[in-house]
Amino acid sequence: MRGRRRRRAAPQHRRRRELGLPAEVPAELGDLRAVAFDPSVANAFIAVGLDGAVVLSEDGQTWTAMPGASADFQALASYAGRWVLAGADGAVSLIIDGEFFDESQFDTTTITGIAREGEWLVREDGVVISGSPFWYDETAVRVEEELPPLRAVTPMGDEAIVVGDGGLIGRARISDELECDRRYAAR
């Protein structure tokens, strides 16, 4: 075809900027699973993943790896100006002043989602937990019944929307008696 010129692919660093991707990322991050932003936390941006991968950023452009963790992190939320990380084998860690503090549960089921300062948690085994926050609250409510694996949760007033395998979308709420009432609709 005349008059058509084939465009060459832009160099990798140029493509990153065109896509709005960060310009500076630590080498060999591994597989990341969750990302969050909270302007009240010292490093307002965070991403976490497998093999203890944790990267922090003040501006969302330049990221710094934070060594010291080994858990496979799947979820995160902010709590009282700190980051809460959760994942495989019931791992729960807080980042306080640049250090990890282990708040892991005795239950070793993988935590796949946490939200609103740790008030809501979902697990791979289909369990929904609510507490304030769940790792401190001895009265945390656990709803356990046969459900597909849950993957994420987001708060909505005094309720939460959960999503899971098989197209599951559900709603959990805490009643006056601190019991969860869920209405699920599978597709």
Residues of the domain holding 136: 115-187
* Domain stop point among 108, 135, 163: 108
Residues 6+ apart with CB under 8 A from 39: none
Is residue 102 located within the same domain as residue 120?
A: no
* Domain stop point among 76, 108, 140: 108
Q: Is the overall model pTM greater than 0.75, yes or no?
A: no
Is residue 126 located within the same domain as residue 104?
A: no
Place of tokens 């934070």: 66
Tell me if 177 is assigned to some domain: yes
Is residue 154 located within the same domain as residue 134?
A: yes
Q: Is the alpha carbon torsion for 106, 107, 113, 115 positive or negative?
A: negative
Residue 100 in tokens: 């990890």
Tell me if 47 is assigned to some domain: yes
Number of domains, the chain: 2
* Domain stop point among 84, 108, 132: 108
Per-residue pLDDT 10s for the chain (187 aa) are 455 555 454 444 444 445 555 555 565 677 899 999 999 888 899 999 999 999 999 999 888 899 888 899 999 998 888 899 999 999 999 998 889 998 887 788 899 999 877 788 888 988 888 877 666 655 556 665 667 888 999 888 878 888 888 888 888 876 544 334 444 444 4
Is residue 32 located within the same domain as residue 102?
A: yes
Q: Is the alpha carbon torsion for 47, 48, 49, 54 positive or negative?
A: positive
Is residue 102 located within the same domain as residue 34?
A: yes
